[in-house]
Amino acid sequence: MLPVKEALSIILAEVRPLESETVDTLSALGRVLAEDITAARPNPPWDNSAMDGYALRSEDARQASKDSPAALRVIYDLPAGSTPRGPVNKGEAVRIMTGAPVPDGADAVVMVEKTEARGETVLVFEAIRPGANVRKSGEDFASGDMVIREGTVIRPAEVLMLATTGKAAVCVKKRPVAAVLSTGDELVDIETVPSPGKITNSNGYGLCALVKDSGAEAVNLGIAPDTRQGLMDKLTEAVKYDCIITSGGVSVGDYDFVKDVLKEMGSEMRFWKVAMKPGKPLAFGVIGGRPAFGLPGNPISSMVAFEQFVRPALLKMAGRKDIYRRTFPAILTAPIKKKPGRVNFLRGSLTITDEGFLVKPLEGQGSGMISTMVQANAFIIAPEGVSALEEGEVVHVQPFDATVLQAVTPGY
Ligand code: AMP
Ligand code: MG
């Protein structure tokens, strides 16, 4: 049996990042930046006020205090969005709003709460140092600064930065479009009530959801029958997309034709028994430069195989470098028994506590047990060689969604 890591590295060696496209800045959220972003202007663009108050020359109020305020002549009002009407000379002040440009001559702003207006005069009750409450031009970034590098994943912070630099559209890596095909004569579509012997095509939905959850686009091609011709027809459609994902028909059953048909279609097919549980049978090939994954039919097997092999491949195609789920140690809250020889990806419920990460292995680890997948938020990675893990032992976990980082109370 092929070790999981080897299967993964063979797969990833065949997968390349897609080309780039230009999209509007908000649509770039979650995508990988395909250009360096250099600021065409500084931020802030000019020295501006951090407070509502009075712009003044700090030397005029250096000694000011509650008992001995400085009295300055207010020469005009300066709201945000306006430009100064003239410089501030000795003994003068300008009523200024947050964000307005600091007039020439002024080098500080006193907040309005520390002043009192008396007609044309303002009294300043606080000692002012040079630069007080002034945001300096370029203190965030200067014109010509590289503010985001190519390869960065665009988060809300990057969108904010792009907007600040005036970038309305941006060059990003394309998102892969993956076709999902479910094979099996037993399958009926979700709208059909299954007759005896039939089951609903769960995997088509589960795998499309996983594709979307990976930031890629999913095309559900529905069900292909367990015949060579039927598979051929559907796979001919599937190979038009960036990535081909099938479920079922890859084991050693009499009707498991997926790998044969993909081979007939010109794919250099590899078929492995991967040393993992669930998800042992796996077919992988490349058709016209596009990766094709033949995942096992059992719903949990297909999900686990997707998580370990397809998701990293889709992220690589999308230009990501951080393509793996982070794994980390957690304390096991119940024992686990397993057979040595295969890595087990056990469904677990992971919680973050003040004592650290705790993970509970769930009852019902069969590859058709969808209810435990629903309760789980992480895989417990039980290594190939071991046959038992004890309660209290430290194991590695691989959370597969962000719910573990969410809470029902704010925590502060
Ligand atoms: P196979 O790998 O085709 O032999 O399928 C293994 C098991 O997974 C069988 O019990 C199938 O009925 C089940 N199965 C295959 N495809 C699907 C699917 N799309 N949705 C739900 N169960 C499936
Ligand atoms: Mg089948």
Terminal CA-to-CA distance of the chain, rounded, Å? 49
pLDDT of residue 100: 98
* Alpha-carbon separation of residue 400 from 233, 247, 303 (angstroms): 34, 20, 11
Nearest listed ligand to the Cα of residue 180: 1
pLDDT for residue 303: 98
For residue range 95-130, list pLDDT tens digits in order: 999 999 999 999 999 999 999 999 999 999 999 999
Query: Over the range 330-349, which residues count as b (16 or more CB within 10 Å of their CB) and which as e?
Result: bbbeeebebeeebbbbbbbb
- Cβ 258 under 6 angstroms from ligand 1: no
Ligand 2 midpoint to CA 307 (Å): 21
- Cα–Cα nearest to 380, from 313, 335, 320: 335
Q: Is the CB of 372 under 6 A from ligand 1?
A: no
The answer, yes or no, to whether residue 269 has pLDDT greater than 90, is no
Ligand 1 contact via 388 beta carbon (within 6 Å): no
Given a cut of 90, whether residue 406 has pLDDT beyond it is yes
Whether residue 294 has its Cβ less than 6 Å from ligand 1: no
Position 255: which residue type? Answer: Y
Rounded percentage of the chain residues whose pLDDT exceeds 90:
95
Residue 184: HSE in the Cβ half-sphere, 13 Å Cα cutoff: 26
Distances (CA, A) of 113 to 48, 76, 189, 255: 18, 19, 68, 81
Do the bridges between strand 328-332 and strand 356-361 make them parallel or antiparallel, or are there none, so unpaired? parallel
Order of strands, sheet of 177-183, starting from the edge strand that comes earlier in the sequence:
217-224, 177-183, 243-247, 290-295, 281-287, 270-273
Which among 260, 265, 301 has a CA at the least distance from the CA of 281?
301
Ligand 1 contacts CB of residue 281 (under 6 A): no
- Residue 17 is predicted with a pLDDT of 98
Does residue 248's CB lie within 6 angstroms of at least one atom of ligand 1?
yes
pLDDT at residue 253 in the model: 84
pLDDT score recorded for residue 271: 86
**Predicted pLDDT of residue 283:** 94
Tell me if residue 48 falls in helix, strand or coil. Answer: strand
Ligand closest to CA 279? 1
Say how many Å lie between the CA of residue 298 and the centre of ligand 1: 5
At 25, the pLDDT band (50, 70, 90 cuts) reads very high
Work out the average pLDDT over 253-265: 88
Tokens 């590695």, located at residue: 396
Rounded to the nearest angstrom, the distance between the alpha carbon of 348 and the centre of ligand 2 is 27
DSSP-H helix ranges across 239-298? 258-264
* CA–centroid distance, residue 252 to ligand 2 (Å): 10
> What is the per-residue pLDDT for 115?
98
Residue 278 CB less than 6 A away from ligand 1 = no
Q: Is 350 in the pocket of ligand 1 (CB under 6 A)?
A: no
What atom of ligand 1 comes closest to residue 253's alpha carbon? 4
Mean per-residue pLDDT over the chain, rounded:
97
Task: Report d(CA 101, CA 95) in Å as an integer.
Answer: 12
pLDDT at 255: 80
Task: Tell me which of 183, 203, 205 to substitute to probe ligand 1's pocket, judged by most ligand atoms within 8 Å of the beta carbon.
Answer: 203
Residue 83 to residue 290: CA distance in whole angstroms: 57
Distance, in Å, from the CA atom of 145 to the CA atom of 44, rounded to the nearest integer, reads 13
> pLDDT confidence of 30, banded at 50, 70, 90?
very high
Alpha-carbon Rg for the chain in angstroms: 31
Q: Is 101 in the pocket of ligand 1 (CB under 6 A)?
A: no
Average pLDDT over residues 6-25: 97
Please compute the mean of the pLDDT values over residues 1-10 and round it to a whole number: 96
Are the C-beta atoms of residues 7 and 284 closer than 8 Å to each other? yes
Cα-to-centroid distance, 216 and ligand 1 (Å): 24
* Residue 296 CA, closest ligand 1 atom number: 2
> Distance between alpha carbon 141 and the CA centroid of its chain, in Å?
26
pLDDT tens across 317-369, in order? 999 999 999 999 999 999 999 999 999 999 999 999 999 999 999 999 999 99
Atom of ligand 1 nearest to the CA of 249: 3
- Is 279 near ligand 1, meaning CB less than 6 Å away? no
Q: How far is the CA of 374 from the centre of ligand 2 (A)?
A: 23
Give the pLDDT confidence score for residue 338 in this predicted structure: 96
